[in-house]
Structure 1
């Protein structure tokens, strides 16, 4: 169904679990060669082993890095390009969320949210874009997919730094899409609502510790923002990424697509 993706080089950050792992599986099944990035070598290795159970012949490279570290990103991308050639698909999935009232959001927390969620996205695009553009000139289109959040499209209380960073990701997506529109590269953002990931599990524990609610009540409180009254599943986000990478989405550019069960519809 996605034969045009066979052999394309996809680099995914935050690839060890959750949404990143689901994206890796979808792209592996479409025939992409994968570079999996994250901070934990062990977590990435476990993900490779899980991938090979479902896609035994997947071509995959582990390139540990912290997206907030520009030099680490450059080194990882150089390693990836030496193995598989230019990156054709970049999925900026690495992210971090911390909850504090604004009055308790100090400069360290503020900068950490920007570093991981926004500047990390910038670092990765800067590193892969020259090679991606060269490949596009030769006929292999490029795709940049930034995993933002509904927090990039609306406000949420007690996560002001995270919301600011994710709004920045959406703004970067739109600006870069215009710059690259005639160069064979599309740039889009996926904006999931509360999704079954480690970030949400941490949010649940935070609610439990601060409010005394049960874990089930905390999960329901997060799911309540979704009109479908459930958490989004990582594979639902991954399938949207796969669609954006396919040939049929050539005209989809500069968009911030909410995967939220209708949360932003009202």
Structure 2
């Protein structure tokens, strides 16, 4: 399979799942714009491959998203693969949650996905093929204990994808969400410390809480999520549309 001549945009592309997807798309021939808030991280990653291009962008900032996506399109052509991946994950009980915490989570996860997709569609709509993939979570399909805000944001992402798939039925653009369980990324590392502090357990015990939540009792590799994204941009996936695909090691 080749993506030669295609421009892909991956938010949160400097680390974790986004980086795994970006590397895979570049290996398939795409010109991949990776975004994140730390230009130095993006520059280090972009040095790996002639097909990767780092562009600092804050998905919470509408003006920044508008300007940076337009700049990427001017440099590399219309976005035909949009991966709305940038996000944060943090648990907090509702009765201990202030509005600033809620709004930052929504601004990053849900508003960020909306803005990224909206701006990508401006050029994608003018082409004959497009793929939009939101990296949501199993928390987008069911409640995650102790993480009401995160759960709500990921449910919103899945709902956005399902609605857009209906809006574009019959056109050569598909919209799907990937819903992984706990993935072995920096987010798990950060949550290990948070869970350890909140639950009063050791770091190893905190990590085991996340590992045991996955039905196959191991953390998912970012490359496993990237493989699902690769399928969705491959020939033969044209009729997969409006789906929330679980990557969770078993039924949950």
Per the normalisation by structure 2, the TM-score is 0.97
2:92 is the counterpart of 1:100: yes
Residue 116 of structure 2 is matched in structure 1 by 124
Residue 229 of structure 2 is matched in structure 1 by 241
Instruction: Tell me, in whole angstroms, the C-alpha distance in 2 between the residues paired with 1:95 and 1:189.
Output: 14
2:242 is the counterpart of 1:254: yes
Residue 45 of structure 1 is matched in structure 2 by 43
- 1:57-136 residue pairs with structure 2 within 5 A? 58-136=50-128
Three-state SS of the structure 1 residue aligned to 2:146 is: coil
Moved over 4 A (4+): none
Alpha-carbon offset, residue 263 of structure 1: 4.5
Give yes or no for contact 1:133–1:184 (8 Å, CA) kept in 2.
no
2:49 is the counterpart of 1:27: no
Gaps of 5+ in 1: 53-57
Q: How many residue pairs end up in the alignment?
A: 252
Calculate the aligned-residue CA RMSD, in Å: 1.1
Alpha-carbon offset, residue 60 of structure 1: 2.8
Three-state SS of the structure 2 residue aligned to 1:98 is: coil
Give yes or no for contact 2:22–2:52 (8 Å, CA) kept in 1.
no
Greater fraction helix: 1
Gaps of 5+ in 2: none
Instruction: Tell me, in whole angstroms, the C-alpha distance in 2 between the residues paired with 1:61 and 1:16.
Output: 10
Alpha-carbon offset, residue 157 of structure 1: 1.7
Instruction: Tell me, in whole angstroms, the C-alpha distance in 1 between the residues paired with 2:51 and 2:180.
Output: 28
Alpha-carbon offset, residue 59 of structure 1: 2.6
Residue 187 of structure 2 is matched in structure 1 by 199
Give yes or no for contact 2:133–2:229 (8 Å, CA) kept in 1.
yes
Deviations 1:128-187 (A, max 9, x none): 102101012xxxx10000000001001012211110010000000000001112121000
Per the normalisation by structure 1, the TM-score is 0.92
Instruction: Tell me, in whole angstroms, the C-alpha distance in 1 between the residues paired with 2:170 and 2:54.
Output: 32
Residue 8 of structure 1 is matched in structure 2 by 6
